[in-house]
Amino acid sequence: MCQRSEVRDQTSDARFQISDCGQHGQLANIVRFLLYMKTPLRILLTLLFLQLALLTPCYATDVVRIDAKYKQDSIAAPDPDYPIKAQHMNYQGQGIYRLIINDKTGVADEVKVLRTTGHRELDASAVMTLFNWKFKPGAVKQRDVLIVFQLTGWVRGLH
């Protein structure tokens, strides 16, 4: 249940209604605290509060998706890392890569970029990881793999 309280500003005749509703109660307490202070100190603390609120880093969730059908017959098929630089620059994309598999070892001898993600860092991460994939020897000669690099969530970045 929400509690409403009326606060009167000491320096003016302004009245404010503040609701204390669960998560917003802490913010209401901050507003109350600021209203009871003298004007110069109130301005200073308000600016400080806003600066801290605006400068806190916001991170997106990085997602690298590889459909299970591409990992069929694999012994080891790790997902590529989302490079930090690519995350900060908000790089996203999807690429298709062809693995040429050694019949005797089951390891990729060659990885070709059939369709680029459009970003060198993402392609490099995908190619280097695909060299670590291992299949049952003789089971697969080549495999085309679709890898999707995607950032979800809210990103605040300075470019």
Query: What does the pLDDT read at residue 48?
Result: 73
Total of domains in the chain: 2
Residue 126 has pLDDT above 90, yes or no: yes
In this structure, what token pair is assigned to residue 37? 């202070």
Q: List pLDDT tens digits, range 71-80.
A: 998 999 999 9
Question: Residue 78 is encoded by which pair of tokens?
Answer: 């790790």
Q: Is residue 159 part of a domain?
A: no
Task: Indicate which CATH number applies to the domain containing 140.
Answer: 3.30.2420.10
Average pLDDT value over all residues in the chain? 79
pLDDT digits (tens, 9 = 90+) for 22-59: 445 666 777 677 666 667 776 777 777 666 655 555 55
Instruction: Say if CB 80 and CB 131 are below 8 A apart.
Output: no
Cβ count within 10 A of residue 113? 14
DSSP secondary structure, 81-120, as one string: P--HHHHHTT--EEEEEEEEE-TTT-BEEEEEEEE--S-H
The residue assigned the tokens 């793999």 is 145
Same domain, yes or no: 69 and 142 = yes
Same domain, 69 and 29: no
Higher-pLDDT residue of 64 and 33 is 64
Q: Are residues 27 and 47 in the same domain?
A: yes
Domain check: are 84 and 141 in the same one? yes
**DSSP secondary structure letters along 7-28:** EE-SSSS-EEEEEE-GGGHHHH
Provide the token pair at 140.
């697969």
- 88 and 143: one domain? yes
Same domain, 48 and 75: no
Residue 75 belongs to some domain of the structure: yes
Q: Do 74 and 11 share a structural domain?
A: no
**pLDDT of the residue at 95:** 96
Domain that holds residue 26: 3-55
d(CA 142, CA 135): 10
158 within some domain: no
**pLDDT for 75:** 93
Over residues 96-123, mean pLDDT:
96
